[in-house]
Amino acid sequence: MDSPCKQLLTSLFLLSLLLQKFVSEDTITPDKPLKDGVILVSNRETFALGFFSPANSSRRYVGIWYNKVPVKTVVWVANRDDPLDDTAGILSIDGHGNLVLTETNRSFPIWSTKVSVVSANHSMARLLDTGNLVLAHPETQSPIWQSFDFPTDTWLPVMNFGLDRRTGLNRILTSWKSKNDPGTGNCTFEIDPTGRPQLFLYEGGVALWRGGPWTGQRWSGVPEMTRIYILKASYVDNPDEITIRYDVTAPNVFTRLVVEEPGIVKRSTWHKTSWVIYCDPYNPEMFECTCLPGFEPYNTSDWYRRDWSSGCVRNPGVSRCKSGEGFVTLAHVKVPDTSLARVDMSLSLEECKQACLKNCSCMAYTSANETKGGIGCLTWHGSLVDTRVYSSGGQELYLRVDAATLAQYAKENGLLHNKGMLATLVVSVAVILLLIAASIVYWFIVRKRKATFEDSSTRRELDGRTRNSDLQFFDLSRIVAATENFSISNKLGEGGFGSVYKGCLYDGKEIAVKRLSKYSGQGIEEFKNEVAIIAKLQHRNLVRILGYCVQGEEKMLIYEYLPNKSLDTFIFDETKRSLLDWEKCFEIVCGIARGILYLHQDSRLRIIHRDLKASNVLLDNAMHPKIADFGMARIVGGESGDQIEANTNRVVGTYGYMSPEYAMQGVFSVKSDVYSFGVLLLEIITGKRNNTSYHDDPSSNLIGHVWKLWNKGKAMEIVDSSLGDKIPDNEAARCIQIGLLCVQEYAKDRPNMSTVVAMLAMVETEVQRQRNDFEVKWGVLF
């Protein structure tokens, strides 16, 4: 065979492979079925539907998986227990309007939606960007059937999980048989509606783990839920349904909850486990037990041998019925099995206590919902099964004990402490009365005389924090005169905790006044924090604070005035953008990097800014950048500077600039600022905000878009055209690469700021060398 024929056959073979990878639209219609080799992709390309084979298997399944996650992660399988033997499968709409899976060598459907539809013309199937496959009426779009109602092993955002009481449909998760076999496994994860509904994990019908009831904020037995900042849960328990769903509050984040063999439930986010629940033993033989107050081991000798299967019993020979008994409070508890509890949602917590106290068979009580001070009443009248105490989370359980145990428990937990609490209460009441009297004096005497009252305690605190600095205290009258009584014409902008005004002092010096809002109680600590931190810092790329004012209700910071305002007013404004050429943009990038390096490494304190963004970078007369707004900043490691990471229960900052580990887990470090710098660098190069969407990739933000073009070798397409056409490709490409290194998902993979500054210096050195070579060669012509 000659060479041209060989080339033709090779081309036809490659074309056939290409056709097998053909990507279809997001819809199956009666005249457009889905064949093996074709992939159905949702509108924003988030999920894909098609035929697949698990690793090391030739069996074919119809499934849904993440389209943009590098490792194929299947979230739903149609024919999990009836795989195909070859690639002759077709997913189509049959003559009755059902979605069916057929194979050419079989005369009957392998899988079907099995719903009542009049005809094929009355239905179509569409894959949504939520991962839900919906069979719907083509005109009304009303769902006839949806995959979210028949989950396999995965629970996705916006999916209702639980029981529909009207239809009896119970949405539960069932594990795969193994990693490479999606068949129905042995483990199930579901909501048990008996008594007070609660989570259960079963293996072969035997309870392995109990998540407890919904407390109004979390499951009683899942304290880890308090650390998932990107998720918002919604729980419903009414005559129609018992369901829970969760929504993702951060954009462009993929997350799922999956049940696996041999009985593991875990949540994964971008292939990074943010929190994992392993099988929490439901059987008391599987973990070390202790007895609750008023209980003792049923068989002491067994307990000495670490055999707790016999459990605990009430202390014998004591009376808990109208004999001075009471309740001890156990904090952070996964409450006992609520399928054995009585529920009365009409009672308050105090009414619940009284009802339990009157009923001698009532062993314990708690609120059914912890919100609003406690709603509803849960009581137990028998065994208290599977009760656990955590270091955090859970809820309070009020346990009935006899008079002797109540007294002993009070003594062991500090009777003198209780007396101390009483004394503290008395002192507190006295202090409150004193404050009320002081307030009366304030309003009727001080206000009457129109005298200025200075918040001396706050000032003393700030004076202590800013000792050994040149920070000046400004009188309120001086600031009022400088800003012309905070006139609108002098207003420079407005932030989360107040407004910023331009001012001019008597000596002609211009200042910027950050005025804390009177109604922003949240911002007082940030105000003190900013004064304390920035007073100790001096660097050409950090905004300089001149002083502060704490007087009456007013709290203000006085900064040097920077006439060019913030960086975002230039890079995101089509008109002003043209005032910045590439050379100036690069200088701004290097200045910001040096400022962050100073905070992380070169200052007396290691400081993490936590809110680095374009609007918090100010520009002076010469367009030199100065990092501002240290209200969210945190000092870590003290002057020793040996600490580089911390965590917080309160995530602050701006989504889009937050690193994944900070937004999801509250863990922040110097690498969190590196991530924010990377986002800022890419915004400067592209002239686009990170939350910008793209017509060819609507679900992707700026970072995702840049990664996509970088992998295709088209990174230069993102450079903002207003920067001119004289940007050296290698210089821009290296800066894009530095930005992408900084925004890597895992903190350990990102460079530190000293490395970033060094890389930028290498780019600057290379550019300067090229310019020198150019001037030597061509300078004579100019």
Q: Which residues contact 771 (CB under 8 A, 6 or more apart)?
A: none
Task: Name the residue among 246, 206, 238 with its Cα closest to residue 222.
Answer: 246
Residue 740 has which token pair? 């992408």
Handedness of CA 73, 75, 81, 84 (dihedral sign): negative
Q: Which amino acid is at 778?
A: W
In this structure, what is the dihedral angle of CA atoms 131, 662, 644, 593, given to the nearest 10 degrees? 90
CB 685 within 8 A of CB 718: yes
514 is in an annotated binding site: yes
- Please tell me which residue in 26, 611, 629, 720 is annotated as part of the active site: 611
CB 632 within 8 A of CB 652: yes
Angle between helix axes 729-742 and 670-686 (nearest 10 degrees) is 150
**Nearest-angstrom CA–CA distance, 71 and 700:** 18
Rg of the chain over all Cα atoms, to the nearest angstrom: 33
Q: How many other CB atoms are found less than 10 A from the CB of residue 239? A: 7
**Nearest-angstrom CA–CA distance, 653 and 610:** 6
**Nearest-angstrom CA–CA distance, 430 and 720:** 65
Report the chain's terminal Cα–Cα distance, integer Å: 64
Look up tokens 């593991």; give the residue: 264
| C-alpha triplet 375, 379, 382: angle, nearest 5° | 165
Question: Pairing relation of β-strands 606-608 and 143-146?
Answer: unpaired
CB 523 within 8 A of CB 517: yes
Q: Which amino acid is at 268?
A: S
**Catalytic residue status for 611:** yes
Q: How many other CB atoms are found less than 10 A from the CB of residue 384? A: 19
Q: How many other CB atoms are found less than 10 A from the CB of residue 269? A: 21
Interior/surface letters 580-600, b for 16+ CB within 10 angstroms, e for the rest = bebeebbbbbbbbbbbbbbbb
Residue 640 has which token pair? 């020793």
**Nearest-angstrom CA–CA distance, 276 and 257:** 9
Helix (H, G, I), strand (E, B) or coil at 417: helix
Residue 292 has which token pair? 């609750």
CB 333 within 8 A of CB 390: yes
Annotated binding site for ATP: 514
Annotated binding site: 514
* Residues known to be catalytic: 611
